[in-house]
Amino acid sequence: MIFSYLCVAVFLLTPALTGIHDIPEKKDMTGNIQNGDSSPQLASGWKELFDGKTLNGWRSFKGITVGSEWSVENGELVLNGKGGNMGGDIITVDQYADFEMSLEWAISKGGNSGIFFHVIEDNYPAIYATGPEYQLIDDEGFPEKLEEWQKTGANYAMHDAVNKSLKPVGEFNESRILVQNGHVEHWLNGIKIVQYDLWTKDWYDRVQNSKWKDYPGYGLACKGHIGLQNHGSAIRFKNIRIRDLTEMGKSLFNGNDLSGWKIHGTEKWYAEKGELVCESGPDKQYGYLATEKPYRNFILRLRFKQEAEGNSGVFFRSSIEGTKISGWQVEVAPPGKDTGGIYESYGRGWLFQIPENKEHILKMGEWNDLVIKVEDNRVITWLNNEMMTDLTDEKIGMATGVIALQIHDGGGIKVRWSNISIVELAD
């Protein structure tokens, strides 16, 4: 977990939602899906994660295929409970940021399993090392005494489930998980039983006071796989569906020209094959491509590929005179040079440099995904879905300005950019 304490460094993006007074009464799980029908007509935006016939769309964690413990029987995804405790977890091939997921499950007597989201593989040992868990367990028949945070529907080891109505072992329960803009809800049989917010002060405090304090990647990803756990006991799933709720906002690059942008300096900026290219010119000086419009609070998503050594970056809340830029930069640099960190130009310099154990997340010469969230006095960056920086800073909070892509001086730089989009957030 990354903490930065420059000026004011308190993680207070939104109040933590931990109370139970505002959890509503029972209502339809999705408003669109007829649960219990093995072949329903899906509403717009929903897709099947399990087709009832094959294991297509799933694979083992860090694997290629699904292990033999998992099979399809009578339209259900079945885990036989053999092969020992832990291991053999499966994940979706696709990854999701914001989403709504609905499924049905039936646990065996004494059984234990779970549903995970935002699962990252990378160097992590298991799906629980990164993904928060919607716990599935036999509350009454589990052979050991359970704490509330271990029971069905809980955000495991973090938030207890409340107002729960659980069906007997062997019968199918309906569960729903909603993840949107860092807010998460757990539903069980039509009742909301848990809600919480990722990356708040309350979230970080709970992590530090739980078993997850020893898992540095836990709950920090902004996007990842859905996972189903093999905890050594039998469980059945069916009607597993999802809809992507990720808001991409508006595109800042039309793929054809530099409309909406302004060039500063003599370095090269051009559109090629639907991509935005920046390249050092003969002068080998600083160069910037800045938005014509200023932005204050936003989520910026983009992809970049470094085709040559050299330093670049994404500036935010910045002002430019000629090629002198004042503001803050999310670093884009060669390996070992803090990509995803925050640098203040013509000011305090480095505000946050990423830890050495995250330098491998950058994929030099390949396409990388970068997400930058700027809201009031807080900046969070994710590189290839993994959190790199979470910084709260008073000076940043007082500023506004343009977004700009950089070419560093010295020559030898060529970077391709694509899928540049922005969602503006309320002040």
Segment 114-131, tens digit of pLDDT? 999 999 999 999 999 999
pLDDT at residue 310, as a whole number:
75
Both tokens assigned to 410? 């010295």
* Residues 4/351, Cβ–Cβ less than 8 Å: yes
**Cα–Cα dist 158/172, whole Å:** 25
Place of tokens 């936003």: 298
Summarised one tens digit per residue, pLDDT across range 84-99 is 555 699 999 999 999 9
* Residues 405/414, Cβ–Cβ less than 8 Å: no
Select the CATH number that applies to the domain covering 46-244 from these four: 2.60.120.560, 1.20.840.10, 2.60.40.10, 2.40.30.10. 2.60.120.560
Both tokens assigned to 396? 């940043």
User: pTM of the prediction?
Assistant: 0.90
Each domain of the chain, given as residue ranges in start order, spans 46-244, 250-424
pLDDT at residue 83, as a whole number:
65
* In the chain, % of residues over pLDDT 90: 87
pLDDT band at residue 33 using 50, 70 and 90 as cut-offs: very low
Flag whether pLDDT at 27 surpasses 80. no
pLDDT band at residue 44 using 50, 70 and 90 as cut-offs: confident
Q: Do 46-244 and 250-424 share a fold?
A: yes
CB proximity list for 205: less than 8 A, separation 6 or greater: none
* In the chain, % of residues over pLDDT 70: 89
The CA-CA-CA angle for residues 190, 194, 196, to 5°, reads: 135
* Phi (first) and psi of residue 261, to 5 degrees: -125, 160
Query: Mean pLDDT for the chain?
Result: 91
CATH match of 250-424 with 2.60.120.560: yes
**Cα–Cα dist 418/255, whole Å:** 8
* Residues 185/167, Cβ–Cβ less than 8 Å: no
299 torsion bin: left (phi>0), alpha (psi -120 to 50), beta (else): beta
Please give the full DSSP string across 276-336, using - where no structure is assigned.
Answer: EEEE--TT---EEEEESS-BSSEEEEEEEEE-SS--EEEEEEEEEETTEEEEEEEEE-STT
**Cα–Cα dist 46/106, whole Å:** 22
* Residues 355/346, Cβ–Cβ less than 8 Å: no
pLDDT at residue 42, as a whole number:
67
SS3 149: helix
pLDDT band at residue 31 using 50, 70 and 90 as cut-offs: very low
**312 or 44, which is more confident:** 312
Nearest CA among 326, 330, 331, 323 for reference residue 262:
323
